[in-house]
Structure 1
Amino acid sequence: MSNLLPIDISAIPESQREAVLAVLRENNSLKQETTGLQTKTSELEVLVKRLEHLIAELKNATHGKRSEKLSEDERQLAFEDLEVAVAEVETQQAEQTSSEARPRKAARRNRGNLPADLPRVERVVEPQSLSCPCGCGEMHRIGEDRTERLDVIPAQLRVIVTVRPKYACRSCAEGITQAPAPAHLIEGGLPTEGAIAHVLVSKFSDHLPLYRQSQILARSGVDIHRSTLADWVGTAAFHLSPVVDRLAEHLKKSGKLFMDETTAPVLDPGRGRTKTGYLWALARDDRGWGGDDPPGVVFTYAPGRAGQNAEQILRGFDGTLQLDGYAGYNRLTRPSRKGGAPITVAYCWAHARRKLKEVFDRDGSEIAAEGLRRIAEFYRIESEIRGMGSSQRLSARRTRTAPLIAEFGEWLQNQRCRISSKSRLGEKLTYIHRQWSGLQTFLHDGRVEIDSNAVENLIRTIALTRKNALFAGHDEGGHAWGRIASLIATAKVNDVEPFAYLKATLEAIASGHPANRIDDLLPWNFQP
């Protein structure tokens, strides 16, 4: 009582003492509530500052100068971790804010994006009692509220038991009849075609090495060694190779393709360490100009980066090839080219821009900045005409882009005269100068893109598999890697679910799909 009394209670007449005490109690309660609100306000200020910091980090990862120095995968990882932190802060803020002060907002989730074909498990939650509080009887149902949440059940393993009854006649001994055993990709083996497809997709799409898949299976009580899984992958790669070969034939009939190469580390048993192999990507993507041919990519493994590998892969192709500035491709443009006529090359403006960006980020060069501003104008026009027909794109480029390219060429020569070719910037300008003819190819063909980003996006999955698997165990493993990755990447770029496609394709092959109908097995012809 004494802490409620800032005055001498004995000096107050007894008739008024109770009223004064009530006022003092109310005043003390208000002080305690004020103190609580001040504490909560301070906590919220700390949360807001942390949230502002995280949002600034997100903006910097998205738009800041450092974002270009991160790979796409590193940026995605940064986004994920920052978004997790933001969600944590928002949840903490919601918990610390009373429902009276601010109603809890609905979670920012894809509430309307639960596919209709997903199985639904209904759980009806009934009240504890249906008796009317006034005692007039049992209540009647007048409606309902429904909410849907996504549930996940870990991968379910099952055993397919094939039973083939035998039949015989009781009256004679003419023999026994029985249905023939269904065809399997691995005769007498353990896996179904669906199990093999799952291993392929897990390794080459979800980037799970076989030893990790073995560990995951073991957690479900199924002990399958990594070497057994490798046998499944090798068998599938062999049976799928004709499909990949046919895919490559289709691509090389096109008038324009992309090409790029990426490292594929391979174990070298003789030296006890890895050597550098390469997966060469040959891709078609005509969606930028509304072409009729479906997109696709074939990865071909080669033990080195020599230009003769590209020459071998491109046998039978005569057209325009869009690529970066690697000198190994130069032999493709010469009359001495083996396997076809000299090809037309289209070089990549994204690579040219990247060279200037490297200098600008390091030195803040105003000359590099000017080059970047000029190239940005080319890209602005390209974004406006993307998806138009090839003739419309060609017309727009000749009218709008060609004068800008000519001005850039004059600017480039002026800068090269002023800057030492041995300087960092001079080297970058010389790089652009050497490719100047190929950088203008897109001005003369509406089918050609301004850069080779399409193929770079397709080979990103190779980089992820390489990062997780570390290396292929042998050159032959590199070949299998390329074949299976080709079908998975082509399926994805055609909006085909890779597991469903591979499962159906392996089942068809096991059942003796005719060789003269192999086109039916190409990813873009898959019908679920």
Structure 2
Amino acid sequence: MILAERAARVAAETRLVDARAEAANAQADLSSTEALIAHLKLEIEKLRRELYGSRSERKARLLEQMELQLEDLEAAATEDELTAEQATARTQTVQSFQRKRPSRKPFSEHLPRERIVIAAPTSCSCCGSARLSKLGEDVTETLEVIPRQWKVVQTVREKFSCRECEKITQPPAPFHVTPRGFAGPNLLAMILFEKFGQHQPLNRQSERYRREGIDLSVSTLADQVGACTTVLQPLHALIEAHVLAAERLHGDDTTVPILAKGKTVTGHIWTYVRDDRPFGGTAPPAALYYASRDRRQEHPERHLRGYTGILQADAYSGYNGLYDPSRAQGAITSALCWAHARRQFFELADIAANARRGRQAPAISPVALQAVRRIDALFDIERAINGLSAEERLRARQEQSVPLVAELEAWLRDERCRLSRSASVAKPIDYMLRRWDRFARFLDDGRVCLTNNAAERALRGFALGRKSWLFAGSDRGAARAAAMTTLIMTAKLNDIDPLAWLADVLTRIADTRQNRLPELLPWEWKMPILQAAA
């Protein structure tokens, strides 16, 4: 009787263990499937973005949200997988769960390999014989990181005296950006890139270096930053001249808090981007930044006082003086951004946002929804002709976009006549109709883009960075940030690692003659690197 009860209890415990193992496997399978689906959705959205370009700000936010969700799902799937392995290890009948993972890309060939060979057995584990012959080997690759290493470079300059005239001869001291400097070019490039490219303030850098055993105070780092900005000023001037010689510019600005007496004031960072690639131009892309304490009209007039090309920007009234036909240098041609106009309609027709707001959400505007659809048809045409020559783009627009724009204008004017002055959709309609000739400028010039997204992308770093560094310390600090960001963003636009470029430039700029400084510009610096790789 006792034996039977014990056997029944053991059988019940075994069934319970098996059931728990099967449940753990099922949960792990569910988590793995969800993570795999999320991964595939993210890849699909990224491919669509690469194929058709950026469709809206909401799409960019959607990708970021999907990446965060994928992180959580992947972490949960790994936890459930380990739980399932531990549960199945206590049973003999339930097989362990095998997770379906996306295929992982192989490690890059340029990474150094360290080969660790596990000692081979000296005798057979079955019969004990020592007559073993090698059949092959299995290699398992593990990605590892070596912590950052610091070193002190000692440059020895030997002195010699002449036996005849007793004159002392010695090689010159190595160049340092700061007088009696101590920081090497790679260290300086890292400090600059982390501050202006990764938006890490100097106090955080100083704390991190101190944890690594290197005592570099904030004032010491600030000295290096100021000196580097001065040394690199000639390259900034060359980039400025290159940008302002463009046939077409993208212009925009964003706010930056600037420290004042006992408070902060709302300063502005202005950007002007030269990017001729959409209409098949061969000139290298570049971005130029300026800083100001306010947003008065005098700032863009000073920035572009010698410019007479096309300016793609929003409808900010501060640019109006540049479009005046009586301007001494000649009027700048204005082209407005359709993305700005579309955004105002989209906010009134965002079904997903309304669903999140619940009962408090306003009603979807059918007029706004129809306007978004009509504008999206123009964007579809633009994606197909992006990168073609200006003549080909103009020809395609005359054939496909002109009828759609004419229909859109007639439809907007007809709808506006039916709307009251207080209607929410009347404001974006008036915004377009009052400036219709500037919105339709792209129909007459193949160099004009449909949007001003190039300038908005160039300002994204400041929009993200100001959450990290809170404010600029002074007007000169904001101007210094604008100058250094000009160099870093231009390097990025030319597909160059800003860190490597800055390190090399800081090494060579002192020995480079004035007439050869253009060789250090990002697009010129890139060519020898490509030739050496080839």
Structure 2 length-normalised TM: 0.86
Q: For 1:217-228, what aligned pairs fall within 5 Å after superposition?
A: 217-228=209-220
Provide the rounded CA distance (Å) in 2 between the counterparts of 1:44 and 1:313.
Answer: 64
Q: Which residue number corresponds to residue 18 of structure 1?
A: none
Question: Conserved in 2, the CA contact under 8 Å of 1:349 and 1:451?
Answer: yes
Provide the rounded CA distance (Å) in 2 between the counterparts of 1:386 and 1:77.
Answer: 25
Q: Residues 3, 393 of structure 1: CA spacing in aligned structure 2 closer, same or farther, 3 A cutoff?
A: farther
Provide the rounded CA distance (Å) in 1 between the counterparts of 2:25 and 2:198.
Answer: 40
Q: Residues 289, 281 of structure 1: CA spacing in aligned structure 2 closer, same or farther, 3 A cutoff?
A: same
Query: Which of 347, 353, 362 is equivalent to 2:342?
Result: 353
Q: Work out whether 1:254 is the aligned partner of 2:214.
A: no
Question: Conserved in 2, the CA contact under 8 Å of 1:47 and 1:93?
Answer: yes
Provide the rounded CA distance (Å) in 1 between the counterparts of 2:365 and 2:180.
Answer: 67
Q: Residues 57, 104 of structure 1: CA spacing in aligned structure 2 closer, same or farther, 3 A cutoff?
A: closer
SS of the equivalent of 2:255 reads: strand
SS of the equivalent of 1:121 reads: coil
Tell me how far 1:121 sits from its aligned partner.
1.7
Query: Which of 151, 168, 172 is equivalent to 1:158?
Result: 151
Q: For 1:393-412, what aligned pairs fall within 5 Å after superposition?
A: 393-412=393-412
Q: Work out whether 1:449 is the aligned partner of 2:449.
A: yes
SS of the equivalent of 1:305 reads: coil
Question: Conserved in 1, the CA contact under 8 Å of 2:323 and 2:331?
Answer: yes
Query: Which of 1, 8, 19 is equivalent to 1:38?
Result: 19
Q: Residues 94, 176 of structure 1: CA spacing in aligned structure 2 closer, same or farther, 3 A cutoff?
A: same
SS of the equivalent of 1:363 reads: coil
Tell me how far 1:217 sits from its aligned partner.
0.6
Tell me how far 1:374 sits from its aligned partner.
0.6
Of 138-147 and 323-332, the range deviating more from structure 2: 138-147
Tell me which amino acid in the other structure corresponds to 1:116: E
Q: Residues 130, 410 of structure 1: CA spacing in aligned structure 2 closer, same or farther, 3 A cutoff?
A: farther
Of 81-90 and 473-482, the range deviating more from structure 2: 81-90
Unaligned ranges ≥5, structure 1 = 6-23
Provide the rounded CA distance (Å) in 2 between the counterparts of 1:484 and 1:109.
Answer: 40
Provide the rounded CA distance (Å) in 1 between the counterparts of 2:64 and 2:417.
Answer: 43
Tell me which amino acid in the other structure corresponds to 2:282: D
Q: Which residue number corresponds to residue 308 of structure 2?
A: 318
Q: Which residue number corresponds to residue 258 of structure 2?
A: 266
Provide the rounded CA distance (Å) in 1 between the counterparts of 2:369 and 2:35.
Answer: 29
Provide the rounded CA distance (Å) in 2 between the counterparts of 1:174 and 1:399.
Answer: 85
Tell me how far 1:437 sits from its aligned partner.
1.2
Q: Residues 351, 442 of structure 1: CA spacing in aligned structure 2 closer, same or farther, 3 A cutoff?
A: same
Q: Which residue number corresponds to residue 519 of structure 2?
A: 520
Tell me which amino acid in the other structure corresponds to 1:122: R
Tell me which amino acid in the other structure corresponds to 2:521: L
Of 120-129 and 367-376, the range deviating more from structure 2: 120-129
Q: Work out whether 1:368 is the aligned partner of 2:347.
A: no
Tell me how far 1:425 sits from its aligned partner.
1.3
Question: Conserved in 2, the CA contact under 8 Å of 1:240 and 1:483?
Answer: no
Q: Residues 454, 163 of structure 1: CA spacing in aligned structure 2 closer, same or farther, 3 A cutoff?
A: same
What is the number of residues matched between the two proteins?
Answer: 498
Provide the rounded CA distance (Å) in 2 between the counterparts of 1:243 and 1:406.
Answer: 46
Tell me how far 1:435 sits from its aligned partner.
2.4
Tell me which amino acid in the other structure corresponds to 2:522: P
Provide the rounded CA distance (Å) in 1 between the counterparts of 2:472 and 2:188.
Answer: 19
Structure 1 length-normalised TM: 0.87
Provide the rounded CA distance (Å) in 1 between the counterparts of 2:25 and 2:97.
Answer: 16
Tell me how far 1:84 sits from its aligned partner.
2.1
Tell me how far 1:80 sits from its aligned partner.
4.3
The CA deviation string for residues 58-112 of structure 1, in whole angstroms up to 9 with x for no partner, is 979x89xxx978695x656644432221112211232215597356347547432
Provide the rounded CA distance (Å) in 1 between the counterparts of 2:103 and 2:30.
Answer: 24
Provide the rounded CA distance (Å) in 1 between the counterparts of 2:373 and 2:286.
Answer: 33
SS of the equivalent of 1:281 reads: strand
Q: Which residue number corresponds to residue 116 of structure 1?
A: 109
Provide the rounded CA distance (Å) in 1 between the counterparts of 2:244 and 2:56.
Answer: 33
Q: Work out whether 1:189 is the aligned partner of 2:181.
A: yes
SS of the equivalent of 2:239 reads: helix
Of 299-308 and 141-150, the range deviating more from structure 2: 141-150
The CA deviation string for residues 236-268 of structure 1, in whole angstroms up to 9 with x for no partner, is 111212211211111121111111111121101
Q: Residues 137, 128 of structure 1: CA spacing in aligned structure 2 closer, same or farther, 3 A cutoff?
A: closer
Provide the rounded CA distance (Å) in 2 between the counterparts of 1:57 and 1:329.
Answer: 45
Provide the rounded CA distance (Å) in 2 between the counterparts of 1:476 and 1:309.
Answer: 16
Q: Residues 515, 289 of structure 1: CA spacing in aligned structure 2 closer, same or farther, 3 A cutoff?
A: same
Provide the rounded CA distance (Å) in 2 between the counterparts of 1:4 and 1:220.
Answer: 66
Question: Conserved in 1, the CA contact under 8 Å of 2:34 and 2:73?
Answer: no
Q: Residues 37, 383 of structure 1: CA spacing in aligned structure 2 closer, same or farther, 3 A cutoff?
A: farther
The CA deviation string for residues 284-303 of structure 1, in whole angstroms up to 9 with x for no partner, is 11222221011110101122
The CA deviation string for residues 456-495 of structure 1, in whole angstroms up to 9 with x for no partner, is 1111112222221111100001111001001100101111
The CA deviation string for residues 416-453 of structure 1, in whole angstroms up to 9 with x for no partner, is 11112333211121112122111111111112111011
SS of the equivalent of 1:485 reads: helix
Unaligned ranges ≥5, structure 2 = 47-54, 351-361, 530-534
Tell me which amino acid in the other structure corresponds to 2:414: N
Structure having the higher Rg: 1
Provide the rounded CA distance (Å) in 2 between the counterparts of 1:135 and 1:102.
Answer: 33
The CA deviation string for residues 346-398 of structure 1, in whole angstroms up to 9 with x for no partner, is 11111111000112234311111111111111111111222222222111111
